[in-house]
Amino acid sequence: MNFCNECGGPILFGPVDGDHAPRHVCTRCGYIHYLNPKIVCGCLAIWHDQVLLCRRAIEPRAGFWTLPAGFMENGETTLEGAVRETREEARADIEVEGLYCLFNIPHINQVYMMFKGTLIAGRHAAGDETLETGLYREDQIPWHDLAFPVVRKTLKHYFEDRITGSFPFRMIDLRHPIP
Amino acid sequence: MNFCNECGGPILFGPVDGDHAPRHVCTRCGYIHYLNPKIVCGCLAIWHDQVLLCRRAIEPRAGFWTLPAGFMENGETTLEGAVRETREEARADIEVEGLYCLFNIPHINQVYMMFKGTLIAGRHAAGDETLETGLYREDQIPWHDLAFPVVRKTLKHYFEDRITGSFPFRMIDLRHPIP
C-alpha cells in the first residue's frame, strides 16, 4: 500500500497512538488504512458416492483440482457466496445442508468456509475459471494434484465422517509450514 | 475509494471484462480494487449464571452495552482475534469452548463470529474502548440499552440454550431492516 484511497497522499507504515500494532497511515489526511483477513466461501457438493471437483484454469495452482470456492463479496452472506462461486466455477447448483469446515489460515490472511450439500440433478460443467469439472469417488480423487491444503483437509474429513454418517461442524487452523 | 493504493492514480467504478459486478479500477495502472466483507470476532464469556458485558466508550453506539468483539486482524485466527478483543475491551481472559454463533450481516458487509467460553477467575475491567464492564444475570441484562442486534441475538440464544444445556453452533442471517 503506497497511496491513500481517500486523498491520494503518500502512506507511511508505522505506530499509531493507542493502537497495539503499526498501521498504514496517510501522511496527508491522516486516514488509517486497516488490512483485514478475507473470507473464501465454497461448497463440498455430493452426488451419491461422489464429490464435485474443478480443475483450475487460473493461477494460483492452474491445472490442479479444487472445490468450487472464491472470495466472498460485499452485500452477500457466506452461504450466498458459496452458492454463487459453485455456480460460477462449476455451473452447478447445490442444496446446502450447512457449514461443514471453517479454516483459519493466518499466514495468508484468509478464513475459508466450506459448506456441504447435495449437487442438484448431478449437473455440472466448467465455468470461466475452470478447465473441467468432474465427479469423483474416494478411490478416484487426484490426491497428488489437489490445488490447496484446504481442499485435501475438507475431503479427508468428509470421507472419514462418511464412515459414521455424522458430519459435525469443524474449525481447523492451517499454519505455515503445513506439516 | 478515490485513488489507487498502488500508483495513486484516479479510480473509476465500472464494469470489468469477464466479471459479474462493477469494480473500482485504477484508470492509470489498471489495478482492480476488490472490496470484501470484514470479520468481527468476539466472546460470550460466562461466569456461573452471569455473562460479561462491556459499555462502549467509542462510536458507534457509545454508552450502550455490548459483548467484547472487534475486527479480526491479519495474521491471527478467528479464535485468537476473539481472545485478543476480550483482553483489550474487557481486560478478561476466557477459556473458549468453541464457536457459538456466526452472523451474516450483508447490508454492512460484516460476518460476526461469537465464541462461547468461561471467564477465567471472574476477572474483568474496562479497557481503553470501554466505559465499564459488568457481570449480568439474565434478569439483569440491560435489554433496552444493548449496542447491536447481534448482541441481543447472541444473548437470547444463550439463555434459551441454557434451559436444555445444549449449545449448538448456529449460523444466522441479520438483514436490514431488522424485524
For residue A21, what are the domain limits?
1-35
Same domain? B14 vs B87: no
Residue B179 lies in a domain: no
Are B171 and A4 an interchain contact pair (Cβ–Cβ within 8 Å)? Answer: no
Residue A120 is assigned to a structural domain of this protein: yes
* Whether residue A30 is found in the same domain as residue A86: no
| Domain CATH number, residue A47 | 3.90.79.10
- Determine, yes or no, domain membership for A64: yes
E-state strands within chain B: 11-14, 23-26, 32-33, 38-47, 50-56, 65-66, 69-71, 94-105, 110-119, 130-136, 170-173
Average pLDDT over residues A132-158: 98
Interface probe with B: pick from A2, A31, A33, A78, most Cβ of B within 10 Å:
A78
B10 plus B80 within the same structural domain? no
Answer yes or no: do B78 and A111 touch at CB < 8 A.
yes
Q: In this complex, do B8 and A6 lie within 8 Å of one another by their Cβ atoms? A: no
- Evaluate if residue B131 carries a pLDDT over 70: yes
Helix (H, G, I), strand (E, B) or coil at A77: coil
N-term to C-term CA, chain A: 32
Check whether residue A58 and residue A106 sit in a common domain.
yes
Q: Are A147 and A61 in contact (CB under 8 A)?
A: yes
pLDDT of the residue at A178: 55
pLDDT level of residue A18 (50, 70, 90 thresholds): confident
Distance from CA of A88 to the nearest CA of B (A): 10
Tell me the chain B residues in contact with residue A89 when contact means C-beta distances shorter than 8 Å. Answer: none
Does one domain contain both A43 and A23?
no
Strands B38-47, B110-119: pairing kind: parallel
- B7 and B46 fall within a common domain: no
Is residue A104 assigned to a domain? yes
Cβ neighbour number for residue A170 with a 10 Å cutoff:
16
Nearest chain A alpha carbon to B10: A8
The pLDDT-based confidence of B178 (bands split at 50, 70, 90) is low
* Closest to B134 in 3D by CA, of B145, B123, B143, B147: B123
Q: Of the candidates A30, A34, A35, which has an alpha carbon nearest to the alpha carbon of residue A9?
A: A30
Going by their DSSP bridges, the two strands A38-47 and A50-56 should be labelled as antiparallel
Residues A66 and A120 both lie in one domain: yes
Residues A21, A64: one domain?
no
Q: Would you state the pLDDT for residue B11?
A: 96
Q: Stretch A65-87: mean pLDDT, rounded?
A: 98
- Claim to verify: residue A43 and residue A31 sit in the same structural domain: no
Q: What is the mean pLDDT of residues B140-168?
A: 98
Q: pTM for this one? A: 0.95
| pLDDT band at residue B20 using 50, 70 and 90 as cut-offs | confident
Percentage of residues of chain A with pLDDT beyond 70: 98
Would the pLDDT of B18 be above 90? no
Q: What is the DSSP letter of B9?
A: P
Band (A20; pLDDT cuts 50, 70, 90): confident
Segment B49-70 shows an average pLDDT of 98
Kindly state whether residues B56 and B31 are assigned to the same domain: no
Q: How many domains are there within chain A?
A: 2
Q: How far apart are CA A26 and CA A30, in angstroms?
A: 5
Same domain, B3 and B59: no
Residue at A129 is within a domain: yes
DSSP code for B168: -
Percent of chain A scoring above 90 in pLDDT: 95
Size of interface A-B (CB pairs under 8 A): 107
> What CATH number does residue A24 fall under?
2.20.70.10
Q: Please tell me which of the candidates A37, A38, A169 has its beta carbon nearest to residue B169.
A: A169
A27 touches chain B (CB under 8 A): no
pLDDT at A70 over 80: yes
Residues B63, B23, single domain; the answer is no
What is the CA angle B173-B142-B81, rounded to 5?
Answer: 50
| Rounded Cα–Cα distance for residues A141 and A151 (Å) | 11
Q: What is the mean pLDDT of chain A?
A: 96
